[in-house]
Amino acid sequence: MQFFEFMFVPTILFLVVVVPIWLSMHYSSVKRSSRGLKKEDRETVDHMLETVDKLTDRIATLETLLDSDHPDWRQQQARRRQADMNQQRSQ
């Protein structure tokens, strides 16, 4: 019985002091993380997405031009990569 009497006070203190602080900190961090992006961050992400779309269109246009002007450019590029890899392996 002495053990239970000894642990009674620390248990009550834990429940009265530590648990409420712990819960309030936990739920405040959950609230903070669930808020999402700020307006500025959302605008930045939207701007980045627009830039990515434009760059994707440009790359597609460049590949189309290269395909019409130099039909075998993809094979040449693959051969160069393979040669570079072989050269790196030999070093």
pLDDT, block means (10 residues), the chain with 91 residues: 82 92 91 78 93 97 93 86 85 72
Q: Which strand (E) or helix (H) includes residue 16?
A: none
Q: Give the pLDDT confidence score for residue 1 in this predicted structure.
A: 66
Same domain, 28 and 42: no
Same domain, 26 and 41: no
Same domain, 32 and 42: no
Same domain, 80 and 90: yes
Q: Structurally, how many domains does the chain consist of?
A: 2
| The two three-digit tokens of residue 25, written as one number | 């900190």
| The two three-digit tokens of residue 70, written as one number | 């130099």
Same domain, 23 and 44: no
Q: Give the pLDDT confidence score for residue 42 in this predicted structure.
A: 87
Name the nearest CA neighbour of 74 among 55, 82, 85.
Answer: 82
Q: Give the pLDDT confidence score for residue 29 in this predicted structure.
A: 87
Helix (H, G, I), strand (E, B) or coil at 22: helix
Q: Give the pLDDT confidence score for residue 41 in this predicted structure.
A: 85
Could you tell me the pTM of the whole model?
Answer: 0.49
Domain span including residue 4: 1-36
Same domain, 86 and 45: yes
